[in-house]
Structure 1
Amino acid sequence: MADAKDVKNVFLTATEHGDAEKVRKLLAEHSIEPDLTATREGIGRSVLSVAATYGQTAVISELLKGGANPELKSTSQRIALHEACIGGHLESVRLLLDATSNIDVGDINGQTAAHLAAFNGETKVLKLLLDKGASMTARDIKGRQPAHLAAIRNHVPILQLLFKSAIDLDCPCTAGKTPLHYSAQHGSFEALVYLLGRNCDLTIQDKNLNLPLHHAARHDNLRCVQFLIRHGASLNATQGEGRTSSHIAALYGGVNVLHWLLETNVDVSLVDNHGNTSLHNAAEGGKAECFNCCLQHDASLSVANIKGDTPLDTAKKYGHFLLMEKALRNEVVCPHCLKKCEKLEYDRTHAPALVERSITSVGTTAYTSPLPPFQHTPTQHQQNLLRAEIKRKMRNQKLMDRNMVAKYL
């Protein structure tokens, strides 16, 4: 038994390393089963699948000649063709396509060879699959087509190939999400730009009535949010619960998106179907930086939702009161608001004196120096003093009434 085990290990090693000659000899001289399962790696793949994983085309050829079954599945229900597509091994894929009867068979997630090639950005492999008649509209267990997976991974060449093949890029999955939703959700900016350039519909809602903009806001993908808005997405568009992108960003901690939206003059007092403002949402989600950002943009602590809860009531209900109190006292701050305050303070302290402004306003070159202007950069000590002063001033802003503190403590 030990000898047989040693022979099998040698066989598996030869398969992985692409030693086709040794594989041929072992098959002939030791009567090794060509469908041997490589149990040592823990995922139950056949030796043919192992060879496909490493792109060992010559070994694949020897195994197929020896009677290996190309449609034997691993514990993840993948066949050798799947493994070759994942690795982008074009010649191995070509060989296995000729040996496989059903090239659209799915794995444990319902994903076909086309799905796996699209997800891994293997454009040449996907083109070969397309030429061999593989379905580009097959759906996995979540109803996603290869286009959805390409959008998730930001593979623009895959999307280009699918578009040229007349595949509908507005196709919804089971959850109602199109490739545009997925690109916004995963921050796949180049894919999002391409899809919008192909007139994909940014007004399609998923099953929860979320737009691509809402998914981008939830995952704090600022560039995607900005691009969607520049191309017509509404700042105040709502989803199923009446939440706008600012509500969603506050709830899930998208401080980059939230700050940008509030700076774009989105109304911080807008309420969702439950009467919650963005401040309520930040309190519910325990997102202190977002809570502070809303306060710095004049959000009200006294607005009550339909249950009669103020933002601090909401924070207490969800176990986030102490954290929100820190944000209220500017012990936790929105980094963008702090940066803005620092810049404003710097501009104020370095503003030109009255006489300098007067000289600048006079239409003459009498006081113009031929030398470039000297840039007054504060020293590190001055910067430290500035930060301390700003934090002191911020702590004195938007503090709750003493009685209010007592009420919630």
Structure 2
Amino acid sequence: VAKGYLPGLEKTLKDSDINAQNSSSETLLHVAAANGHLPIMEYLISKGAKIDVKDKKGRTPLHRAAERGHGEAVKLLLRCGAYMYSLDMEGKTPLHLSAQNNHSHILKMLLKEEAGSLAKMLLEAGAFIDGKDERGQTGLSYAVSQGSENTAKVLLEAGARVDSNMVESAFNSNHPSIFKILLEHSKDLPPDIMESALFRAVQGNLHDNVAALIDRGADINAYNATLYTPLLLACETGKAESAQVLMEKGANFGIKTPGSDTALHLAVQAGAASIANLLLCKGMEVNLVNQAGETPLHVAALHNKGALVGPLVNAGAKINAVTKEFATPLHIASQRGNTDVAQQLLHHNANANVKDKQAKSPLHFAAERGDKTMVELLLSANADPNAQDKEKKTPLHAAAGRRHLSIVKALLAKKGRLGAKDMDGCTPMHYAAIKGNTEMVKILLTSGKYKNIDDRNVWRKTPLHIAAEYGHSHLINLLLSSGAAINALDSSKETPLHCACKAGH
């Protein structure tokens, strides 16, 4: 027994020896407890060993285990009904011995057990179970907030009422198991408390509690204050284990948010691939739209969730699906600068030249943002550098008007037309002139071999008129030295000199 050799004990032990005492009045259980041999203790107890026999010093097996700091042995003895207030010959309880030997873990364990025992004693003496103090707290409130599991069990078994504050307190405490105690031992939890607890359990991804609440009768499709169900909340927050439990328990994944987002929209937004895959495996429709007309694939593009593009497309997502504004996922990826998603979409044959409600292509958005990587990616996918939007602006107009020099170079290299005119008759050079971008104008001039230097807009203004109007002296010098017509007349018969003087330059 002292060496913890169970097979040897099983061979030699006779029933008559089970509670035999040695010269120190120790039983075999004393020896096993003193050495912390759990399997031996369990075997002896199963064979009828007495728990509270005292040795010559008046100590029980619990004294011996507590004195030596054997936590699991103490737990076993308490579970089997050992009396924790037993006094030895010096008047010491197991609690005294654990404190004397600095076994703080044993001390905590015994104090928790004591709390439960005292509560039981008071209840048996007629204490009012749901009485409140001046702070409005019941005994159960304190037991829950302090994580006193044994005390909570005693109070719950005696019929203590659970309210929503206690559930909140259980979730906020540093004792995650206390809520399970509430659930297992409370006789009757109101539906509203069950539902509130279910949402809290999902929030904390306490999937065991989620399952227990549903099994106990919590409404799996209940709505919270924001009109989300537990499954919608799990999807939005990426709580994969809780989402799986909810789906396995029969949650309705056809319910949408007030904005008409499905569970799949929310899972994609959170980048929760495991939840999204589970929903797709359960047969969730992949092309359902929200209020903005966005599919989950649009959401993947919006939030740069490139890893989810493949699974969605493979499940039947329409690669060129359009929103109410006729935007495709590729439009959104380009507008947001989400290169990873754009690569995935193009890999799955997204149309690089599709136009939205304003007739803008994805390349327009990339050019407007000055996103060189995205522009090159789209051009390599045969995006048209000369596509015109509703105002007849090309991506080159957009880049020139926003001083994106590297984009202008990339578009010109792919035969972007520098003479293209928008609905006001302005070329990209007109827009570069407004900004006074000398280097960009120089590139546009050399690219067109200076043929477009005197291009006119609908007001018959040349780039020189505009440079003069805005007072860009360096640009005026460049244009004049490159052969711009100094006395060109606009529709009001004004020369560049008139424009400069009128603007006070």
Alignment TM class, shorter chain as reference = 0.5 to 0.7
Tell me the distance in 2 between the aligned counterparts of 1:179 and 1:32: 45
Q: Which residue of the partner structure matches residue 7 of structure 2?
A: none
Tell me the distance in 1 between the aligned counterparts of 2:151 and 2:263: 38
1:294 to 408, 420, 423: 408
Q: Which residue of the partner structure matches residue 62 of structure 1?
A: 182
**Secondary structure in structure 2 of the residue aligned to 1:71:** helix
Q: Which residue of the partner structure matches residue 34 of structure 1?
A: 163
Tell me the distance in 1 between the aligned counterparts of 2:208 and 2:234: 14
Equivalences for 1:122-137 in 2 at 5 Å? 122-137=239-254
1:241-300 Cα shifts (integer Å, max 9, x gaps): 11111112233454431232235553322111221222444577x5x44x6413443256
The alignment status of 1:234 with 2:370, answered yes or no, reads no
Aligned residue identity for 1:305 = D
Q: Which residue of the partner structure matches residue 376 of structure 1?
A: none
Q: Which residue of the partner structure matches residue 270 of structure 1?
A: 387
Tell me the distance in 1 between the aligned counterparts of 2:374 and 2:266: 25
The alignment status of 1:48 with 2:167, answered yes or no, reads yes
Q: What is the total number of aligned residue pairs between the two structures?
A: 320
**Secondary structure in structure 1 of the residue aligned to 2:298:** helix
The alignment status of 1:20 with 2:141, answered yes or no, reads no
Equivalences for 1:152-191 in 2 at 5 Å? 152-191=269-308
1:100-120 Cα shifts (integer Å, max 9, x gaps): 543222334332111121223
Deviation at 1:136, TM superposition (A): 0.8
**Secondary structure in structure 2 of the residue aligned to 1:159:** helix
Tell me the distance in 1 between the aligned counterparts of 2:358 and 2:311: 30
* Higher relative contact order (Cα pairs below 8 Å, separated by 6+ residues): 1
Q: Which residue of the partner structure matches residue 389 of structure 1?
A: none
- Change over 3 Å in CA distance of 1:27–1:128 after alignment to 2: closer
1:219 to 321, 336, 350: 336
**Secondary structure in structure 2 of the residue aligned to 1:88:** coil
Tell me the distance in 2 between the aligned counterparts of 1:239 and 1:9: 64
Contact 1:115/1:146 (<8 A) preserved:
yes
- Change over 3 Å in CA distance of 1:312–1:79 after alignment to 2: farther
TM-score, with normalisation over the residues of structure 1?
0.65
Q: Which residue of the partner structure matches residue 470 of structure 2?
A: 408
- Change over 3 Å in CA distance of 1:294–1:405 after alignment to 2: same
Aligned residue identity for 2:178 = A
1:68-106 Cα shifts (integer Å, max 9, x gaps): 545259xxxx82212211221111112222345432223
Deviation at 1:140, TM superposition (A): 0.2
- Change over 3 Å in CA distance of 1:11–1:195 after alignment to 2: same
Tell me the distance in 2 between the aligned counterparts of 1:56 and 1:70: 21
Contact 2:286/2:296 (<8 A) preserved:
yes
Tell me the distance in 2 between the aligned counterparts of 1:276 and 1:100: 61
Tell me the distance in 2 between the aligned counterparts of 1:111 and 1:310: 51
Equivalences for 1:78-89 in 2 at 5 Å? 79-89=196-206
1:96-155 Cα shifts (integer Å, max 9, x gaps): 223454322233433211112122333332222123221111100110111111111222
**Secondary structure in structure 2 of the residue aligned to 1:235:** coil
- Change over 3 Å in CA distance of 1:241–1:135 after alignment to 2: same
Q: Which residue of the partner structure matches residue 146 of structure 1?
A: 263
Tell me the distance in 2 between the aligned counterparts of 1:206 and 1:295: 32
Q: Which residue of the partner structure matches residue 113 of structure 1?
A: 230
The alignment status of 1:198 with 2:315, answered yes or no, reads yes
Tell me the distance in 2 between the aligned counterparts of 1:97 and 1:177: 32
Between the aligned residues of both structures, percent identity stands at 23
Tell me the distance in 1 between the aligned counterparts of 2:340 and 2:323: 21
Aligned residue identity for 1:71 = D
Deviation at 1:171, TM superposition (A): 1.7
1:304-348 Cα shifts (integer Å, max 9, x gaps): 4224455577799xxxx65xx45x637xxxxxxxxxxxxxxxxxx
Give the number of the structure whose alpha-carbon radius of gyration is greater: 2
TM-score, with normalisation over the residues of structure 2?
0.54
Contact 2:273/2:308 (<8 A) preserved:
yes
